[in-house]
Amino acid sequence: MTAMTTDENYFHLFGLFPSYEIDLEALDAAYERLSLEHHPDFFANAGTEEKARSERMSAELNEGYRVLRSESERSAYLLDLLKAERELDSTQLPDGFLHEMFALQEEVDELAENGNGARAEELKAQAEQRLQAVQAERSALFANVQNGAAAEVLQQIQSNLNCEKYLTRLLGRLA
């Protein structure tokens, strides 16, 4: 059995190098193999310690897989690893972004009252486009980090991830 401890990160857990771009097929295969290897069903008759370890490993594998499989969760997780002891401003947003979100949210309110379906579709398409642009920007920012960019890029990624939260929230109302 492979020795793994919780202080290792999720990338290592699945035998991956910590990076934004990962081989999803390799992740799927490693998840399947390790889940089978540590499945609590196989430890039903094992000692208490071994049983507990199998349960702990299974929980960790599930959580790690969930995080790495999602592009945005993986980004947030990787940012956390990369920033290490550095402090980032966790609320920073591009100038004017909050005002823009507020105005869009107000418009969604108005639409709910007057039921303009065509305008709702338009807003939804607009928000989805913004979200795609945010994700594309994130990919480019992480590419910079891999080339050894400064701490300010990490802050830009934090700000980028913040934008996504607001856009997702807005899209939730337009669904």
Chain residues binding other proteins by CB under 8 A are: 90-91, 93, 98-99, 101-102, 105-106, 161-162, 165-170
Which helix (H) or strand (E) element contains residue 58? helix 48-69
Distance CA 128, CA 139 (A): 17
**Rg for the chain (alpha carbons), in Å?**
21
**Distance in Å from the first CA to the final CA of the chain:** 46
Residue closer to other proteins by CB (options 13, 167) is 167
**Of residues 15 and 94, the one with the C-beta less far from other proteins:** 94
Least CB distance to other proteins at residue 51 (A): 32
Task: Return left, alpha or beta for 17; rule: phi > 0 is left, psi -120 to 50 is alpha, else beta.
Answer: beta
In whole angstroms, the minimum distance from the beta carbon of 80 to other proteins comes to 14
3-class state of residue 85 by DSSP = coil
* Identity of the residue, 70 or 146, whose beta carbon is nearer to other proteins in the bound complex: 70
Work out how close the CB of 165 gets to other proteins at its nearest, in angstroms, rounded to a whole number: 4
Which residue, 33 or 99, has its beta carbon nearer to other proteins? Answer: 99
In the complex with other proteins, the residue whose CB is nearer, 117 or 172, is: 172
Closest separation between CB of residue 71 and other proteins, Å? Answer: 17
The DSSP line for 126-175 is HHHHHHHHHHHHHHHHHHHHHTT--HHHHHHHHHHHHHHHHHHHHHHHH-
Got the DSSP string for 69-83?
Answer: HSHHHHHHHHHHHHH
Smallest separation (angstroms) from other proteins to the CB of 169: 3
